[in-house]
Amino acid sequence: MSASLDSAATEVREHGGVARPGGEAGLGELCVLMKLGEIVLKGSNRQLFERRLHNNIRAAARGLGEIRLSQRKGVIVIRMPGGSDLQVAELAERMRNVMGIVWIHLVRRVAKDLDAVTDIAVRSMAERTGTFAVRARRRDKRFPMTSSELAGHVGAKIQEAHHLPVKLKHPDNTVFIEVDKDEVFVFTDGIPGQGGLPVGMSGRALVLMSGGIDSPVAAHRMMRRGLKVDFLHFSGMPFTGPESIYKAYSLVRQLDRFQVGSRLFVVPFGKAQQQLKNSGVERLQIVAQRRLMLKTAEALAERLGGAALVTGDALGQVSSQTLTNITALDDAVDLPILRPLIGMDKTEIMAEARRIGTLHISELPDEDCCTLLTPRQVETAAKIEDLRQIEKRLDVEELAEHLAGSAQLHKPSFLGDSAPAA
């Protein structure tokens, strides 16, 4: 599976794909075939997971036209009756972002007829160069040939038609033939999907989303483990401009490709930061601010039905992320704080941010609220008792409720603002 789906999509664009033989309905129809990973292992809960995945697939395919899903063990096939090959290629492209899918293939759906299968397989190798192999498997064992007989037969015909050499180990091209109950699928290429679990399967959480590099990566990692997430951003407004909000908005729009239907809550945090500073927190300003963010997030999560908070903390990356300070942060709330990046290096996080398409947005300049009112020296070993004292004086619990209530809701969609409502 060395070649990419892109080359298959390009082939579709440039040549209209493999010609449809015979004119018989359904022959050679282009479809998307997807292999599932962990979902296969989930035993009796499997149906629930599959239903979730089907819903997510439909949401990701929104606006492309009517689709039909069919589920086989560990495999989903999407057909697009009446869709053009180009639309099917676009559909495959969208599936790259759906969590829970391990491999995505653009396939030709053929009747269970040896000649039809052979014809499509031969055509799929037109304009290819180098060595090739045919791999056949039968999900339906009633097919009159064994897998190796089928592969041998088709391989001989390809050789005859295109004069290409067969090479069973590490060939340049592989033709896959998968025999199903009512049809056969023929394809040559595939691309890896996101893997993980379908979004929503693990419940709901609230991501604390700065405009930085780390929190979008943390969000992606948790979505990949099946969490549906809402986003909360604190801006330094009214003491900073709106740039950080624009960044958070673009980041969430980018991440919306992975879950569809994202909500971003924005809280103007500047005045609360000023209040903390006026109360004389000094070196504790940063940790006290972060505790207030977490308390606000907890209050909002309660309203949204979120069962956990997610942050982009990595151990020791900045002064607020020492082990002592992280302990002081955990003390601020009852909800679990998930920190999927805790053991990662910055370079690893940046590579992942590039891969999920958020790095270029995070690197745009902005005025982060955390750099507002930063003390000359930051406490690296905050004492929980000191923090609690300060918070009592300020009635921080009420402040957090008030801040949560002031959150403004935005709905950044990967389909753009003109997208129809889900």
Contacting residues toward ligand ATP, per CB under 6 A: 208-210, 212-215, 232-234, 293, 311-313, 317-318, 320-321, 369-370
Q: Which is nearer to Mg ion, 281 or 369 (CB)?
A: 369
The annotation status of 137 as a binding-site residue, yes or no, is no
As beta bridge partners, residue 205 has 229
Q: Which is nearer to ligand ATP, 12 or 208 (CB)?
A: 208
| Half-sphere exposure in the Cβ direction for 210 (13 Å, CA) | 23
Give least dist CB 148 to ligand ATP, A: 53
Q: Which is nearer to Mg ion, 196 or 212 (CB)?
A: 212
| Residue 285 interacting with Mg ion (CB under 5 A) | no
Give the type of residue at 310: V
CA distance 293 to 33: 44
Partner touching 215 among ligand ATP, Mg ion, none, CB below 5 to 8 Å by kind: ligand ATP
User: Three-state SS for 211?
Assistant: coil
Give least dist CB 296 to ligand ATP, A: 9
Q: Is 60 exposed, middle or buried (0-12, 13-18, 19+ CB in 10 A)?
A: buried
Instruction: Show Cβ contacts of residue 63 under 8 Å, excluding neighbours closer than 6 positions.
Output: 415, 419, 420
Partner touching 318 among Mg ion, ligand ATP, none, CB below 5 to 8 Å by kind: ligand ATP
**The token pair that represents 163 in the structure block:** 């004069």
CA distance 195 to 415: 22
Report the length, in residues, of the chain: 422
As beta bridge partners, residue 185 has 109, 178
The annotation status of 208 as a binding-site residue, yes or no, is yes
Candidates 146-154, 207-215, 221-229, 373-381; binding stretch for Mg ion (CB under 5 A): 207-215
Give least dist CB 410 to ligand ATP, A: 14
Q: Which is nearer to ligand ATP, 155 or 212 (CB)?
A: 212
Partner touching 258 among ligand ATP, Mg ion, none, CB below 5 to 8 Å by kind: none
Partner touching 295 among ligand ATP, Mg ion, none, CB below 5 to 8 Å by kind: none
**Furthest C-alpha separation in the chain:** 86
Cβ-proximal residue to Mg ion, closest one: 212
Measured in whole angstroms, the distance separating CA 249 from the mean position of its chain's CA atoms is 17
| Residue 210 interacting with Mg ion (CB under 5 A) | yes
The annotation status of 290 as a binding-site residue, yes or no, is yes
Q: Which is nearer to ligand ATP, 209 or 222 (CB)?
A: 209
Give least dist CB 290 to ligand ATP, A: 6
Q: Which is nearer to Mg ion, 52 or 247 (CB)?
A: 247
Cβ-proximal residue to ligand ATP, closest one: 212
Partner touching 104 among ligand ATP, Mg ion, none, CB below 5 to 8 Å by kind: none
* Alpha carbon separation from 284 to 21, 85, 278, 313, 387 (Å, rounded): 73, 60, 12, 18, 8
CA distance 180 to 110: 10
Give least dist CB 215 to ligand ATP, A: 3
Give least dist CB 124 to ligand ATP, A: 45
Candidates 103-111, 139-147, 176-184, 210-218; binding stretch for Mg ion (CB under 5 A): 210-218
CA distance 16 to 104: 20
**The token pair that represents 40 in the structure block:** 């296969």
- The full 3-state SS of 223-263, as one line of letters, equals HHECEEEEEEEEECCCCCCCHHHHHHHHHHHHHHHHCCCCC
Candidates 139-147, 168-176, 208-216, 253-261; binding stretch for Mg ion (CB under 5 A): 208-216
CA distance 182 to 112: 7
Give least dist CB 73 to ligand ATP, A: 39
Give least dist CB 374 to Mg ion, A: 12
- Annotation: binding site: 208-209, 233-234, 290, 312, 321
- Contact residues toward Mg ion (CB under 5 A) are 210, 212
